[in-house]
A and B are shown apart, each in its own frame.
Chain A
């Protein structure tokens, strides 16, 4: 059984939209981070799918999309590590990770 490029693109667009929806609706900081992760994975899936299905141009190597995705995974991990550290510090001080409870800075 073979899959077309379109089916991959539909899945990645779905991932992106779900991620966007999660980011915009969640109040829990970790929930928002999961939404961001979905967006990044949608982009990663796009890169792999395009790299597999498209006739690469002369200057591009066959694997550039896959390599890009590996970097995305690494960067996403770094980003989450930093974000979780910040969430942890805030939790130890405020005993909450609800983003709407952080109201020190406004005006």
Chain B
């Protein structure tokens, strides 16, 4: 018999998962609507967006986040990380659904399934940031993973889409299996799946030389899963292929959603488990377990590799894929910094990156739909054929470089400040050099758009909805570059 107190505490926890419950209800509703009214794109878009907005409403009714407020038998925690990232993923999912609606990449037959899968991945990511138990982390991680493999292979008739999906599923399943093996070692070390309990045991284990070896192996296995999701060296090689083969709106989703979830998991897993206490906003890595040095090296290699490989690309989607690898490197700088300053910088940059990267991929999708292609050659002289879209693209690219007065600049300043504060000067120098290299390939696109002769004269047809979507992404990209204090304040309240 189940004790009565147990049921009560779980019922009291239910309001905290109401965003996920609302999303699940929306998914079931969409499945039914998909049978009754197939091929009405607008119906699905509106219902999905209503579901996403509806899932945010309960957030404001719930008590304020506290670091120790756990619910549902301690599987989840209601802290600032949870509270911040749930709306973040909802915004990402919402923009992607709008992009899919406007894009011709997904045809009407597949549209209903695509919407449902985007919602489900969003739900998986929301569960992931809230979990504080290895079991729940694993389940949410796989929910996000398995469904995104399907999203990549969404265009059934297209060999490239299928090939991308195959590469994604093989590498993804392999790295998450490796991560799971790391989980099992940690479970053996701590005798519990609860992160708080594990973190107590890990400190004890690090004193014992035999247990320490196990701990090092577990950390390395963890890194396999996390570096894969964030597309960092040495688990980055899937990224360009998958990004190129997947439908463009889905590529945009993968480049912000699961990547941000990976970084949130870094903060959720690595800081409580493998650091000892925050004193004055600085953390210490557990003695003899020098993961920050490994990650610093990974960060430098990731950004260098991403930027150097991007130089030779002629396909814009591939170029942006390498750019997203480089950005994973920049973001890792904040994780390496081992301070509240670093964590704030990562979170701030993820928000900025969400808007500017979705914007850049959005333009790629619009140009491909408007009769162009994904090759940089087809962007020649586009400035005169579709001026508004090209100006928007230029702003997104300038922001990705990190030029003032755009949001990317402010985000990068925070990241640089974090590593300099920690006195890891070499990493800051590498990142600065990388930024210079990245100027070349981003500006190549801008040059093609504005300084080269157009291949044809006719105006490119871009729908009004697409223009509105771009505007919605432009406002934060510009706004956060000039008036970033509110976001900075929110972020500094988190850590």
* Cβ-defined contact, A60 with B162, below 8 A: no
Whether the pair B149, A104 counts as a contact (CB closer than 8 A) is: no
B50 at the interface (CB under 8 A from A): no
In the assembled complex, A83 has its CB within 8 A of some CB on chain B: yes
Given known pairs A32-B170, A54-B191, the reply for A71 and B197 (CB within 8 Å) is no
From A35, A43, A102, B183 is in contact (CB under 8 Å) with: A43
- Chain A: minimal CB distance from B65 (Å): 22
- The answer to whether B315 touches A72 (Cβ under 8 A) is no
CA distance A83 to B165 in the complex (A): 9
A60 contacts B163, C-beta separation under 8 Å: no
Return chain B residues, CB-CB under 8 Å to A29. Answer: 166, 170
Interface members, chain B 175-215 (any A CB < 8 Å): 177-178, 180-181, 183-185, 187-188, 190-194, 197, 201
| A60 pairs with B191, CB closer than 8 A | yes
Residues in chain A near residue B245, CB distance under 8 A: 104-105
Query: In the docked arrangement, what's the CA distance between A19 and B144, Å?
Result: 23
Q: How far is the CA of A6 from the CA of B469 in the complex (A)?
A: 59
A104 touches B142 (CB 8 A): no
Chain A residues, CB < 8 A from B315 = 107
Q: Pick out which of these stretches binds chain A: B79-87, B131-139, B257-265.
A: B131-139
Nearest chain A CB to B369's CB is how many angstroms away? 21
Partner of B135, one of A32, A35, A64: A64
CB contacts between A and B, total, < 8 Å: 139
Q: How does the 8 Å CB contact mask read for A31-65 relative to B, with 1 for contact and 0 for none? A: 01101100110111011011100111101100011
Out of B74, B180, B312, name the residue touching A72 (CB < 8 Å). Answer: B180
Stretch from B39-47, B153-161, B268-276, B425-433 at the A interface: B153-161
CB neighbours (8 Å) of B197 from chain A are: 57, 59-60
Number of interface residues of B (CB under 8 A): 48
A46 CA / B192 CA spacing, docked (Å)? 13
Question: Do the beta carbons of B180 and A86 come within 8 Å of each other?
Answer: no
Which one of A23, A50, A79, A104 lies within 8 Å of B160 (CB-CB)?
A104
- Interface residues of chain A: helix, strand, loop or mixed (majority): helix
A11 at the B interface (CB under 8 A):
no
Residues of A within 8 A of B166 (CB): 29, 83, 86-87, 90, 99, 102
Closest chain A CB from B251 CB (angstroms) = 12
Residues of chain A within 8 A of B181, CB atoms compared: 16, 39, 42-43, 46
Of the candidates A39, A59, A71, A104, which one forms a contact with B138 in the assembled complex, judged by CB atoms under 8 Å apart?
A: A71
For B313, the chain A residues whose CB sits under 8 A away are 107
Given contacts A50-B184, A50-B188, contact A104 B173 (CB under 8 A): no
Partner of A105, one of B142, B170, B244: B244
- List 7 tightest A-B contacts by C-beta distance, closest first: A46-B184, A39-B177, A50-B188, A60-B192, A105-B241, A43-B180, A102-B163
Binding site for B on A (CB under 8 A): 12, 16, 19-20, 23, 29, 32-33, 35-36, 39-40, 42-44, 46-47, 49-51, 54-57, 59-60, 64-65, 67-68, 71-72, 75, 78-79, 82-83, 86-87, 89-90, 93-94, 99, 102, 104-107
> Mind listing 21 A-B residue pairs with CB under 8 Å?
A32-B170, A33-B170, A40-B177, A40-B180, A43-B177, A43-B181, A46-B181, A59-B192, A68-B135, A71-B138, A72-B138, A75-B138, A79-B142, A86-B165, A89-B156, A93-B159, A104-B160, A104-B245, A105-B164, A107-B240, A107-B315
